[in-house]
Amino acid sequence: MELTGKIIQLLEMKSGESAKGPWRKQEYILETDGQYPKKVCFMAWSDKIDEFAIKEGENLTVSVDLESREYNGRWYTDVKAWKVSRGNSSADEFPSPEQYGNAQQQDPPSLDDEIPF
C-alpha cells in the first residue's frame, strides 16, 4: 500500500532493549493529498530511520505494510514503512525528451552476422 502526502510532524524517537537486542522506532505524521486529506501515523524501525532521513515538510510517497496484533483483548495496528520515494516518482522513471538531447535515431544493428546457423 502506498501513501502520498506531506510530512507534517515527526514524533519523538523511542528506543529500548529487547531479548533480541536494542531497538529504535520513529513515528511520522503524513497528511495525504486530495480533496479530503487524512492524517496517517506511520513508523520506521532501526536502520530504516537513517536510510529514509525523513524531514518535516517533505512531500513523499511511502510504501507501508499494515499489521495488527491482539493484546489483552484489544487490537493494535502498526503502519510500517518499508520504502520512501521523494518527489514525483513517475517522472523519475521516464526521462523527458529534453534529457535525450539531439541524438539522432540509428538503425538497429544487423543480426545476420551474429546468428550461429
Which domains does the chain show, CATH number per domain?
2-88 (2.40.50.140)
pLDDT in tens, 3-57: 999 999 999 999 999 898 999 999 999 999 889 999 999 999 999 999 999 999 9
3-class state of residue 114 by DSSP: coil
Residues 41, 47, 52, 53, CA torsion sign: positive
The average confidence (pLDDT) of the chain is: 83
Better pLDDT: 30 or 101 = 30
What cell was used for 54? 525523513
| pTM for the whole structure | 0.69
